[in-house]
Structure 1
Amino acid sequence: MIIELTSELEGALIDLPLPPWELDVPSLAKSTRERYRAELTAVPRFAETTTALRRALTGEGGGYAVLRLGRLAKALGGADDERFLRLATAFAAEVAVPFSPFPRWPLWKDIGVKIDKDPGKSSGIGYNAFHMDLVNGTLPPDYTTLLCVRRDPLGGGPSILSDGHAAVSRLSEDCSALLAETAYHYGTFFDLHGVGEEYARFPVLDGPNGFVRFTAKMLERSQLGQAHADAARQLAEELVRGQISFMLEPGDYLIVNQRRFLHGRKALQGGQETVPAADRRLLLQLFLRAPADAGPAV
């Protein structure tokens, strides 16, 4: 769902002096969340906008939203401007608790473009297949979010999303039964906090937690038994069959409910080596944890 801000709301936010955030590692401090909410409560149309945002993320048939903050970002000097990031953080805090699982990144993590990286990685230039973030943590983020600072100047790299549960519903019972077995594994687990323990082997269909615990990368980079690999491959095909695709513009803020949707990115346009590093595509990533008393983000 695309959520536009009214000109009235944009005008009020431009003049709103939110203070710098504080962290209660790994999360945004409760005092900061309370201060931001207090400042924003009286802003015209803010409550209606955040209500629509939460409905898009957790309501029937929902699971993702794109907040169109481009005009606001431009007015404040860009999507990486400190004042703008405070506002984006305040919107995120209305959904769940912002946190960073990476000690080296205090809250927002840069995802730039590195032409010498594995093309399939988030910072690579190739196709980034469907996945959920922190797939091998026992407590993966409830939401993953991406804020566009710069789009690919050559015109590539649209985001892709797919409803994981809808894809599973199109599989056979035998296939689903294999995906529910604790037979899958992917990646390393090092220097992380706020995402539980390492889930060395996990089921793709994570029962009561509601996650479709999947990354297409495990098809090539993990040793799986033939039957389990075939089941995962069928799921990957259904995710592609049901995918939606769109281009994030500067200031667009994508929020994905990881209990419902998986995400990825199509390849960037060829010729990235001709683009100066400072001009290449740049996203900022932030993770969100639903409060324990809020129930699952489903």
Structure 2
Amino acid sequence: MTQTGTTAPTLIDLPRELEEALVEISATLPDWDMVAGFPTESTLAQCQEQMGAVPLLKETAESLRHALSGEGGGYAVLRLGNLAEALGTGDRFRRLAVALAAEVAVPFSPFPRWPLWKDIGVKVEKDPGKSSGVGYNAHHMDLVNATVPPDFTTLLCIRPDPLGSGPSILSDAHAAVGRLSEESRVLLAEPAYHYGTFFDLHGVGEEYKPFPILDDSAPDDGFVRFTAKMLVRSELSPAHADAARQLAEELVRGQVTFMLQRGDYLIVNQRRFLHGREALHSGQEAVPVADRRLLLQLLLRTPASLAS
């Protein structure tokens, strides 16, 4: 991984013994059979049984969970480059990545039209600000307008940009809120914000419109329902827009920036951090589609929010 920010990202390297064991069991891990967007109980049980016998997995999973949800945490990058080198980045590698994510929470897909993994490639004809566009993708949380957003969003790097651009950006949302004035926080807590559409989704509750950016959960635990795109794509009152703009500026001021490399697996706790991406270099149209940057997105739901 190449770091381009001033603060080091939270990296988790796998012990060699664990890597070797994961390569060995990768051929026998189950396909992820899904019902209504969630894995079947038999699939989860089979995966847990196989992964439970892997040496050093428990310790690595504990480190990962602490990095995501412990004090001061909120995101981590599992470095799976050696597994990608040994297995390629096809089905066996992807099943392993899902199995590792399942050590944190339950993998699911809210999109009936897409498989468990959602491709995020580079499409030069797309809106530049979209995840698959070539422009700056500002700080946001995924499914901001759902009453029950995913607890975690994850991005698996299959191919970095061959032109060397498009670093990931992350920012501690609660820390950014804490740097705002009381007046701005009051405005952000009002249900005055809206963004995006809500169509053909399951497992994420209902459409939340309008919504507050700050909810009434315990400090440092609730969602900061923010996407910087609402500043240019939603009609907001001047006062509410100004408060959101101040938050956007604080997110940029506190962001961590780093470049994902092949096999890096970024996992973000959406209750703590917001994510995005810097713009890609010009000239993407000259890069063959099969060589362009490719990430795979997977969403996770904690058992607690699944029950609720």
Q: Shared fold (TM-score greater than 0.5)?
A: yes
Counterpart Cα distance in 2 of 1:210 and 1:155? 35
Give the RMSD, CA atoms, in angstroms: 1.3
Report the counterpart of residue 212 of structure 2 in structure 1. Answer: 203
Counterpart Cα distance in 1 of 2:64 and 2:42? 23
Which whole-Å deviations, capped at 9, do the CAs of 1:40-86 have from their partners, x for residues lacking one? 112111111111010100000000010000110110122xx101111
| Residue aligned with 2:123, SS | coil
The residue type paired with residue 284 of structure 1 is: L
Counterpart Cα distance in 1 of 2:125 and 2:237? 32
Q: CA deviation at 1:295?
A: 9.1
**Which TM-score applies when normalising by structure 2?**
0.93
In the alignment, structure 2 segments of 5+ residues that lack a partner are 1-9
Matches within 5 A, 1:28-39: 28-39=39-50
Counterpart Cα distance in 2 of 1:268 and 1:92? 28
Query: Quick one: which of 155, 166, 169 aligns to 2:164?
Result: 155
Counterpart Cα distance in 2 of 1:259 and 1:189? 21
The residue type paired with residue 284 of structure 2 is: Q
Counterpart Cα distance in 1 of 2:306 and 2:286? 48
1:217 aligns with 2:217: no
Report the counterpart of residue 27 of structure 1 in structure 2. Answer: 38
The residue type paired with residue 12 of structure 2 is: I
User: Compared with structure 1, are the counterparts of its residues 223 and 292 closer, same or farther at alpha carbon in structure 2 (3 Å cutoff)?
Assistant: same
Report the counterpart of residue 56 of structure 1 in structure 2. Answer: 67
Query: Quick one: which of 62, 79, 82 aligns to 2:91?
Result: 82
Report the counterpart of residue 10 of structure 1 in structure 2. Answer: 19
The residue type paired with residue 235 of structure 2 is: Q
Structure 1 runs (4+) greater than 2 angstroms displaced: 292-296
Matches within 5 A, 1:145-184: 145-184=154-193
1:113 aligns with 2:125: no
Counterpart Cα distance in 1 of 2:105 and 2:140? 21
Q: CA deviation at 1:24?
A: 2.3
The residue type paired with residue 247 of structure 1 is: M
User: What count of residue pairs does the alignment treat as equivalent?
Assistant: 294
Report the counterpart of residue 232 of structure 1 in structure 2. Answer: 244
The residue type paired with residue 20 of structure 2 is: G
**Which TM-score applies when normalising by structure 1?**
0.96
In the alignment, structure 1 segments of 5+ residues that lack a partner are none
Report the counterpart of residue 42 of structure 1 in structure 2. Answer: 53
User: Compared with structure 1, are the counterparts of its residues 126 and 132 closer, same or farther at alpha carbon in structure 2 (3 Å cutoff)?
Assistant: same
